[in-house]
Amino acid sequence: MFSMLIDRFSHGSPMTVMTRTLLEHVFSPDQLNAIFNENRQTQQNRQWLLSSAVGLTLLVVCKICPSLPIYQSHVESTIDSLSSLYEKLNGIDLSVSESLVRETASKTRQVIATFPNRGCNTISGYRSRIVDSSKIAATDRCFKALRKQGVDPLPGFGLVVYEPEYQLITDVVLCEDSHAQERSLFPRLLELTEANDLWIVDQNFCCWGYLSGIAQKSGYFLIRQHAFTRWIPTTELENKGKIETGNVFEQQGYLESPETGEQLPIRRVEVQIKTPTRDGDTVMELFSNLPETVSATEIANAYRKRWWIETTFRELDKLLADEIQILAYPPAALFALCMAFVAYNIMQCITLSIETVQPKQSLKLSTYCIGHEIASCYYGLDIVTESHEWEWAANMKSEEIGLFLSPLAKSVKYKNFAKRPPSKKAQ
């Protein structure tokens, strides 16, 4: 199927070959350019195609290459204008960046669906979708127009959708204005809602327009109560049992629209926490419109898993260069952020593949160690192989890719990439 050089790499660094295979499968140039043509609003394909910009940015985001100019000199030797590359990145429409995350996540999800053991939903029977915002930190003031500003520029933020069943970031809603409220993006977030979805979100999303919109689309929500939400109880609190963190109580009631007085029947689940949170809270109040067939203890346990998305953000911070400091223009910075989400999904697919074929291992894999291995070897693999040697990966079906990854995943020396348990403190 592939050349002798790729075969040798598959024995020395199987994860690097797995990475290149997935990238070729997910990022076929024809598909990328089709995404651009379908979602672009103002930008045209001129010197740089979207597929070229994606390839270069991914390598920098994954820390395979320290900067765009260095790798551009190797890959795009026929294009001598680096300024045209930055012009391309600075003009990429947000709709294109959003579509890249959504479409590539769909293909990655199809590959993961072939694995017998993968992530699980928070509540059986519902497609769980966890949402949180990801803001890009202030960038360096490397442009003359920004040097007189009192603070560093903020390029924007996105509302990130994480699906625990596949452990992937599957959608993102972007905004160029970092000072805008999250609630200004709720109408666009509602467009992603489908019947039987379960949206797990924090209290910043607790407003009538968003919650009633989910219910109107036959979806469900699980959200922490906001102090200013209009809540009308109709029953007293009733003890429903215990979970690991404390006692669980429940009562029935209504959410009321502050404008129209319209009411939405919901359940309020209260968890009396054994150990106060870092903010000093001893009680956690949750709203949900899930049916009575889902117990209050299931709801309380499900909300605890909202922190999975926080873990994802921490992994991104330490693993990927998701905030390229020189990209101060919002479209370029948000595009790089989306490429970090895509790279994270590829990493999750590799991790799940290895853990699936080596299930008896007691320790989890370290994404940091995996990322370091790939960053160390990928550049060499790219130098010794030609692009046409990977065309087979782009043409394979997702089911075939899943089967192809299995023997490579089995050959990975698990213990070399496993997380090390914390050492005991000296007595």
Predicted local confidence at residue 109, as pLDDT: 92
Taking residues 4-9, report their average pLDDT.
83
Q: Which pLDDT does position 189 carry in this prediction?
A: 94
The pLDDT value recorded for residue 48 is 57
| Distance (Å, whole) CA 49 – CA 56 | 11
Q: What is the mean pLDDT of residues 123-143?
A: 78
The pLDDT, as a whole number, for residue 50 is 65
* pLDDT interval class at 192 (50, 70, 90): very high
For 12, residues 6+ apart whose C-beta sits below 8 A from its C-beta are 377
Bridging pattern class, strands 127-135 and 168-175: unpaired
Mean pLDDT of 37-53: 65
pLDDT at 2 (0 to 100) = 60
Query: Could you give the CA distance from residue 411 to residue 263 in angstroms, rounded to a whole number?
Result: 58
Average pLDDT over every residue of 223-232: 90
Q: Which of the four pLDDT bands, split at 50, 70 and 90, describes residue 21?
A: very high
413's tokens: 């020396």
Percent of the chain with pLDDT over 70: 82
Strand partners, 248: 241, 271
pLDDT at 353: 93
Q: Is 16 exposed, middle or buried (0-12, 13-18, 19+ CB in 10 A)?
A: buried
Residues 210, 190: Cα–Cα separation, whole Å: 7
Task: Identify the three-state secondary structure at position 362.
Answer: coil
CB contact at 8 A, 129 and 153: no
**263-273 and 246-256 beta bridge pairing:** antiparallel
- Return all residues near 312 (Cβ < 8 A) that are at least 6 apart: 162, 169, 344
How high is the pLDDT of residue 79? 46
What's the pLDDT at 236? 94
Q: What is the pLDDT of residues 145-171, one digit of tens each?
A: 555 555 556 678 899 999 998 999 999
Q: What is the DSSP letter of 185?
A: G
Q: Would you call 49 helix, strand, or coil by DSSP?
A: coil
pLDDT in tens, 255-282: 999 889 899 999 999 999 988 877 778 8
For 230-255, what is the mean pLDDT? 94
CB count, 10 Å around CB of 339? 28
Query: If pLDDT is split at 50, 70 and 90, which confidence band does 69 have?
Result: low
The average pLDDT across 44-66 equals 67
Looking up tokens 């360096």 gives: 140
* CA distance to 43, 136, 185, 396, per residue, from 102 (Å): 20, 20, 17, 20
When pLDDT is averaged across residues 47-75 and rounded to a whole number, the result is 63
Predicted pLDDT at 326: 52
* Kind and range of the H or E run holding 283: strand 283-288
Per-residue model confidence (pLDDT) at position 80: 47
Q: Tell me the average pLDDT across 64-76.
A: 55
Whether the Cβ atoms of residue 185 and residue 201 lie closer than 8 Å to each other: no
pLDDT tens profile 310-329:
888 888 877 666 545 555 67
**Per-residue pLDDT at 142 exceeds 70:** no
Q: Measured between alpha carbons, how far is 399 from 161 in angstroms, rounded to an integer?
A: 25
Q: Is pLDDT above 80 for 47?
A: no
What does the pLDDT read at residue 360?
Answer: 83
Half-sphere exposure of 407 (CA within 13 A, CB side): 6
Give the whole-number percent of the chain exceeding pLDDT 90: 38
Between β-strands 197-201 and 220-224, what pairing exists: parallel, antiparallel or unpaired? Answer: parallel
Which residues 6+ apart lie within 8 Å of 319 measured at CB? Answer: 344, 347, 367, 368, 371
Q: Is the pLDDT of residue 93 over 70?
A: yes
Distance CA 149, CA 203 (A): 33
- The pLDDT assigned to 143 comes to 53
Beta bridge partners of 128: 198
Q: Tell me the torsion sign for CA atoms 270, 271, 276, 277.
A: negative
Give the global pTM.
Answer: 0.86
- 343, amino acid identity: A
pLDDT tens-digit readout, 76-89: 444 446 666 667 77
Per-chain mean pLDDT for the chain: 83
Higher pLDDT, 427 or 212: 212
- Residue 141 pLDDT > 80, yes or no? no
Give the pLDDT of residue 115.
Answer: 87
pLDDT value of position 333: 82
Instruction: Say whether pLDDT at 215 is over 90.
Output: yes
Residue 13: how many other CB atoms lie within 10 Å? 20
Can you give the pLDDT at residue 49? 62
**pLDDT above 70 for 378:** yes
Residue 426: predicted pLDDT: 44
